[in-house]
């Protein structure tokens, strides 16, 4: 399946993570939503994100590697890559962007947002069982 996904991420305490070329990024305790896409093998991409042991390739890999960080939920839908940026824009209206995170291949401000409420995702996307 090809499509877009949102990882709902819990950060259980304040952490600083070295994120590739972004350098040290501070994450406050709380919930975050990360928007990504996979135009081949959506399920495989999500399963990769859920594993701790992996080569770090995407910005989110660095964040998810921290012991204080875990994925709580995954939402997804079949869509083209352009939907990834539309979802990021929507999340930006509801959350606080982590500047330049996960968006090196587009013009978005971010693809990771600190969010207090992600329940609105249930109405527009399917929930993947972890």
pLDDT the model gives residue 130: 66
Mean pLDDT of 112-123: 88
| Residue 117 pLDDT greater than 90, yes or no | no
pLDDT at 101 over 90: yes
Write out pLDDT tens, residues 37-71: 998 999 999 999 999 889 999 999 999 999 999 99
Is the pLDDT confidence value at 72 over 70? Answer: yes
- With beta carbons less than 8 A apart as the criterion, state whether 27 and 15 touch: yes
Nearest to 62 by CA among 72, 49, 43, 75: 49
Percent of all residues in the chain with a pLDDT value above 70, rounded to a whole number: 99
Q: Label residue 53 exposed, middle or buried (CB < 10 Å: 0-12, 13-18, 19+).
A: exposed
pLDDT at 53: 87
- Where exactly are the structural domains of the chain? 3-128
Task: Give the mean model confidence (pLDDT) for residues 14-36.
Answer: 96
């Amino acid at each position: 399946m090809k499509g877009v996904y949102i990882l709902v991420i819990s950060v259980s305490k304040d952490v600083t993570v070295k994120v590739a070329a972004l350098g040290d990024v501070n994450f406050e305790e709380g919930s975050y939503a990360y928007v990504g896409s996979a135009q081949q093998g959506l399920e495989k991409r999500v399963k990769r994100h859920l594993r701790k042991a992996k080569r770090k390739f995407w910005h989110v890999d660095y964040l998810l590697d921290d012991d204080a960080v875990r994925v709580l939920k995954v939402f997804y839908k079949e869509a083209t890559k352009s939907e990834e940026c539309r979802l990021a824009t929507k999340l930006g209206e509801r959350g606080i962007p982590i500047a330049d995170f996960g968006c090196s291949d587009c013009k978005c401000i971010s693809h990771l947002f600190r969010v207090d409420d992600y329940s609105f995702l249930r109405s527009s996307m399917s929930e993947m069982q972890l």
